[in-house]
């Protein structure tokens, strides 16, 4: 039986993402040869020039194709977002049910930033690439899938991450019934724009309504663990959304 993913703290998640991006940047062939150079080099030199050139070409990420599995739950723990871009349009791999736990009844929402480099691109392709990088890094740590259920890019697009039937991996020891939303970017270094903030507000409000979640159960990562997430420039905007005059306080 494969080892199941554990609840990871903020440091290990950041290290996982950084490690994954370094591996992705290195290229799949480079990583394979580096892993066992003495064993691989002799067989590589036996290939002709055309074959070696083909192996050096970048490997395209294969589109995700959902597959039926007897391990997938047949029930839904609650309502999700209706406007999210489906993971089938960006993900380079399937979730691994054997490494995940089924979601328990949803009762809270936690908001994060990805904490990587600053990110301001409005390109849909760039957004998809960033989500896939995060997923690949999390899988590289033997997690069952990307740790977040939804991710929001700088244009306010909402990307479906881990299917909501599976418990997330985004707050150590507190993932039961917890929807994880990640705002793409590093808000220790940059400021969230109005499109992202509006998407966060609308997404959280919708999830609160369909899952009967009270505003006091909408939190940021730093309010649940010792971490800077979701960043000093995003945290006060989220606090304002939940204040007596904020939009989330009026959700019924």
- What CA–CA distances, in Å, run from 12 to 45, 48, 143, 224? 38, 42, 12, 16
Q: By the 8 A CB rule, do 242 and 249 touch?
A: yes
What class has domain 10-23+79-250? alpha beta
- Average pLDDT of 183-191? 98
The more confident residue out of 3 and 211 is: 211
* Tens of pLDDT, residues 150-174: 999 999 999 999 999 999 999 999 9
Residue 247: φ, ψ to 5°: -65, -35
| φ, ψ of residue 220 in degrees (nearest 5) | -105, 165
Give ∠ CA 105-147-157 in degrees, rounded to 5.
95
pLDDT of residue 104: 93
Pairwise CA distance, residues 23 & 15, whole Å? 12
Entry pTM: 0.73
* 37 compared with 171, residue with greater pLDDT: 171
Q: Which segment of 51-55, 165-169, 182-186, 191-195 scores lowest on mean pLDDT?
A: 51-55
């Amino acid at each position: 039986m494969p080892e199941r993913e554990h609840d990871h703290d903020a440091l290990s998640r950041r290290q996982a993402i950084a490690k994954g991006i370094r591996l992705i940047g290195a290229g799949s062939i480079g990583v394979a040869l580096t892993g066992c150079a003495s064993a691989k080099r002799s067989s590589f030199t036996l290939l002709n020039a055309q074959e070696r050139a083909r192996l050096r070409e970048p490997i395209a990420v294969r589109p995700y194709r959902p597959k039926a599995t007897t391990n997938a739950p047949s029930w839904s723990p609650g309502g999700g977002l209706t406007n999210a871009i489906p993971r089938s349009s960006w993900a380079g791999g399937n979730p691994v049910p054997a490494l995940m736990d089924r979601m328990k009844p949803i009762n809270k929402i936690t908001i994060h930033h990805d904490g990587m480099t600053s990110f301001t691109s409005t390109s849909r392709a760039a957004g998809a690439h960033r989500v896939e990088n995060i997923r690949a890094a999390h899988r590289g740590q033997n997690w069952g899938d990307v740790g977040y259920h939804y991710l929001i890019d700088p244009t306010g697009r909402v990307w479906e991450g881990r299917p909501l039937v599976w418990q997330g991996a985004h707050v150590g020891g507190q993932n039961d019934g917890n929807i994880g939303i990640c705002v793409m970017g590093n808000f220790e270094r940059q400021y969230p724009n109005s499109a992202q903030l509006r998407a966060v507000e609308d997404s959280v409000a919708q999830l609160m309504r369909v899952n009967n979640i009270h505003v006091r159960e909408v939190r940021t990562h730093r309010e649940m663990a010792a971490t800077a997430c979701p960043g000093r420039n995003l945290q006060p905007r989220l606090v304002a959304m939940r204040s007596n005059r904020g939009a989330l306080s009026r959700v019924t």
